[in-house]
Chains A and B, each alone.
Chain A
Amino acid sequence: MKNLKKYILSAAVLVAFMSCSSDDDNRVANNVTLEFSNTFNSTPIVLGAATSAEATVNTSDAGQVHHFSELKYVVSNIRLIKADGTEIPYNVNNLDTGATVVNQAKPETLSYVLSDIPVGDYTEIKFGLGVRSDLNTLDQVSFPTFYDNAGSNDTEMHWEWGTGYRFTKIEGFYDTDNKELSFHSGSTLEGDEENYTQGVDAYRDITLSLPATATVGNSAPTIAINADFDYLLSGNSHTVTLVSTEDITNNATPSAHTATEMMKFVENIGGNGTTDVTGMFSITSVEN
């Protein structure tokens, strides 16, 4: 009787084990989760109004204190790269399924799940800060979901006059008297896709090596990506001093839209596109 019980138990265990391993054998893909954390240096950013006591305050290299009340950016064109160099694009031509707005005010947007990533060992991730110019047309017919998410009242990532998306939208306050700080970026390229005749390209391609291999298979890895907004004013490309005068040639008027200074901010947080391909981003951890 005891033996019989044992047999049944071991048979059950065996069956359970076999079914497990047969699942494993069939698995061709799994999820990869991107976890975004937005910081000043290593301190997580807490948003706050002008006189908020809770808001995370940062000091720039130029000595200006500042904090944010709003912090949003678009991530798209995501690619995972295997150890052998194979690049796995994730819905890179579909903004509905391959792009997202990271919004510090909405915790659910800080986590973005890439589904059906082929089994493999991944050592690098690439993604775009902003939207590639060929997709940056506010095409609601082709991508209604992303269009609506980006354009909703609490997101406001449409750049209507340029019929493109806002790539970043930061509102906040600077100096001890809490003057308004407002930084929006977006591309203004016009002309044919192969031959743009005017405008600036604010899209930035980010490349980050993973500190540990992300193994997609049984495990569905989580890649923690840090965006250090200390770079906004104190980046690799420019040290920015915010000024509130009409002096447009001397550092940055913290107005959202004059665009004379926009590319300085873009290069600080998104890199210069050549020697700096990380900008403010880094990988904190990979968990398999």
Chain B
Amino acid sequence: MRPTSSRLFLLVSYYFFMKKLIRHIAIVLLITSCNNDDSELVSYSNPEVSLNIPSDFPELNSSFYTNIPTEFGVELGKKLFTDVRLSTDNTISCSSCHIQESAFADHNPKGIGIEGRIGLRNAPPVQNMAFMQFYNWDGNKLQLEDQPLVPIITHEEMDSSILEVIGKLETDPSYIELFNKAFEGEGITADGIYNSIAQYEYTLISANSKYDKVKRNEGETFTTSEAQGYAVFQDKCISCHSTELFTDQSFRNIGFPINPDPEEGGRTRITGLVEDYMRFRVPSLRNIEFTAPYGSFGQFATLEDVLNYLDTGVLEADNLDPILKDNNNRIPLSTQEKTDLIAFMKTLSDAEFLGFND
């Protein structure tokens, strides 16, 4: 039996109708999915953060220019910095050892991680990182973005892994949104974690101490003791603690008591060079009043202890810094000089940076 023409017409029109319908649905789907993508990609503006870069500070680390802090990048980095989910048992955050009131260091001789595990060295302050060319006591990292993974995976610190961290963050919608805002809709990524934490740390600039205000003629003046301390500092300390960071960022063995941990080799652990044995990066003196104890593993409880040690005499070593070697392994200091030096060092405290004004 042949189909009647009307039946054939119905069939054909049904066919075309369906075809049209499918095409329309497809187009609608396409547009919808496009819209979704677009909304993630373009609906957030994420301006760069304006930072007050002191004109007399050393030059910025070149990595800063490829990871310039943005509004949401810094917000995300700060949130991650204080999030205990970066540790495997959700007990420790970056800010557990890097406490603002201590210039983002802490008061333990050596870093303490999860389950009370004790690390190798003293937690360094996180300040003025944008102007540093080497990070950590031995300068093993040259870019701040390479650093956050280290505490995340280190057994004595957070003992986690980047996929474990990402897995936890993915269960938190506020993170998904913040990552998308900070990094153009890329979602939660390892690089997003590293870059945002570095961006936040780049913003931690301390340049508003009494010393800075005196130098900028903002109405503050040194006391007599501070002024005398500054003179002693320029005479006996400035060859290492130079620049406005109060460190020349060099590595030196100054004969401090040696860390008994067999892991410790100082900078030689990085370079393999004998001359770098027990050399450490000269620490900044900014906010030094609030970063006790002192030394690579917190050998000294107070600044007085450090100065007394330098005055009495340091350990002999083949590669002892020439400044000490040429002076009978010591930096002679009178009691008055020590008092004045400490008074001067306290002028490097930045109450605003430390959060004391909040």
B-chain residues with CB within 8 Å of residue A199 when the two chains form the complex: 270-271
- A284 at the A/B interface (Cβ < 8 Å)? no
CB distance from B48 to the nearest CB of A (A): 25
B-chain residues with CB within 8 Å of residue A190 when the two chains form the complex: 140-142, 146, 270
A-contact bits for B56-91, CB 8 A (1 contact / 0 none): 000000000000000000000000000000000000
Inter-chain CA distance A226–B38, complex, in Å, is 58
A-chain residues with CB within 8 Å of residue B146 when the two chains form the complex: 163, 190
Are B274 and A248 interface neighbours, CB within 8 A? yes
Pick from A188, A249, A255: contact of B270, CB under 8 Å: A188
Inter-chain CA distance A199–B258, complex, in Å, is 23
Inter-chain CA distance A188–B146, complex, in Å, is 13
Which B residue's beta carbon lies closest to that of A254? B262
Which one of A53-61, A76-84, A259-267 contacts B?
A259-267
Pick from B142, B150, B272: contact of A161, CB under 8 Å: B150
Are A258 and B277 interface neighbours, CB within 8 A? yes
B-chain residues with CB within 8 Å of residue A162 when the two chains form the complex: 140
Are B163 and A144 interface neighbours, CB within 8 A? yes
A-chain residues with CB within 8 Å of residue B258 when the two chains form the complex: 246
Inter-chain CA distance A260–B272, complex, in Å, is 5
Are B262 and A160 interface neighbours, CB within 8 A? no
Which B residue's beta carbon lies closest to that of A163? B149
- B218 at the A/B interface (Cβ < 8 Å)? no
Inter-chain CA distance A140–B163, complex, in Å, is 7
- A106 at the A/B interface (Cβ < 8 Å)? no
CB distance from A194 to the nearest CB of B (A): 15
B-chain residues with CB within 8 Å of residue A147 when the two chains form the complex: 161
State whether A200 and B263 are in contact (beta carbons under 8 Å apart), knowing that A138-B149, A161-B154 are contacts in the complex: no
- B29 at the A/B interface (Cβ < 8 Å)? no
Within 8 A of B (CB), among A234-263: 246, 248-249, 255-260, 262-263
Inter-chain CA distance A151–B146, complex, in Å, is 19
Question: Which of A144, A151, A256, A259 has the most chain B CB atoms closer than 10 A to its own CB?
Answer: A259
CB distance from B357 to the nearest CB of A (A): 36
Are A249 and B163 interface neighbours, CB within 8 A? no
- A158 at the A/B interface (Cβ < 8 Å)? yes
Inter-chain CA distance A147–B161, complex, in Å, is 10
- A197 at the A/B interface (Cβ < 8 Å)? yes
A-chain residues with CB within 8 Å of residue B149 when the two chains form the complex: 138, 163
Inter-chain CA distance A39–B146, complex, in Å, is 38
Within 8 A of A (CB), among B119-141: 139-141
- A191 at the A/B interface (Cβ < 8 Å)? yes
Inter-chain CA distance A130–B262, complex, in Å, is 23
A-chain residues with CB within 8 Å of residue B139 when the two chains form the complex: 198
How large, as a class, is the contact surface on chain B?
20 to 34
Within 8 A of A (CB), among B218-249: none
- B269 at the A/B interface (Cβ < 8 Å)? yes
State whether A260 and B274 are in contact (beta carbons under 8 Å apart), knowing that A141-B162, A188-B269, A190-B140 are contacts in the complex: yes
Are A161 and B163 interface neighbours, CB within 8 A? no
Inter-chain CA distance A248–B141, complex, in Å, is 24
Pick from A160, A191, A256: contact of B154, CB under 8 Å: A160
A-chain residues with CB within 8 Å of residue B150 when the two chains form the complex: 160-161, 163
- B190 at the A/B interface (Cβ < 8 Å)? yes
Are B265 and A191 interface neighbours, CB within 8 A? no
Inter-chain CA distance A185–B258, complex, in Å, is 23
CB distance from B148 to the nearest CB of A (A): 10
B-chain residues with CB within 8 Å of residue A246 when the two chains form the complex: 258
- B42 at the A/B interface (Cβ < 8 Å)? no
B-chain residues with CB within 8 Å of residue A144 when the two chains form the complex: 163
Inter-chain CA distance A163–B190, complex, in Å, is 14
Are B263 and A257 interface neighbours, CB within 8 A? yes
State whether A160 and B265 are in contact (beta carbons under 8 Å apart), knowing that A260-B272, A263-B272 are contacts in the complex: no
Pick from B153, B163, B269: contact of A258, CB under 8 Å: B269
- B213 at the A/B interface (Cβ < 8 Å)? no
CB distance from A191 to the nearest CB of B (A): 6
State whether A140 and B265 are in contact (beta carbons under 8 Å apart), knowing that A160-B153, A198-B271, A260-B272 are contacts in the complex: no
A-chain residues with CB within 8 Å of residue B161 when the two chains form the complex: 140, 147, 151
Are A200 and B272 interface neighbours, CB within 8 A? yes
A-chain residues with CB within 8 Å of residue B163 when the two chains form the complex: 140-141, 144
- B318 at the A/B interface (Cβ < 8 Å)? yes
Q: Provide a sorted-by-A list of 28 A–B residue pairs whose CB atoms are within 8 angstroms.
A: A138-B153, A140-B161, A140-B162, A140-B190, A141-B162, A141-B189, A141-B190, A147-B161, A151-B153, A160-B150, A160-B154, A160-B155, A161-B140, A161-B154, A162-B140, A163-B149, A190-B140, A190-B141, A190-B270, A198-B271, A248-B274, A249-B318, A256-B262, A256-B263, A257-B262, A259-B265, A259-B269, A260-B268
Binding site for B on A (CB under 8 A): 138, 140-141, 144, 147, 151, 158, 160-163, 182, 188, 190-191, 197-200, 246, 248-249, 255-260, 262-263
9 tightest A-B CB contacts, nearest first: A258-B265, A255-B262, A160-B154, A200-B272, A257-B263, A259-B272, A259-B269, A188-B270, A190-B142
> Knowing that A248-B277, A259-B272 are A-B contacts, what are 6 other residue pairs whose CB atoms are under 8 Å apart, sorted by A's residue number?
A160-B153, A163-B150, A188-B271, A255-B262, A257-B264, A259-B269
Binding site for A on B (CB under 8 A): 139-142, 146, 149-150, 153-155, 161-163, 189-190, 258, 262-265, 268-274, 277, 318
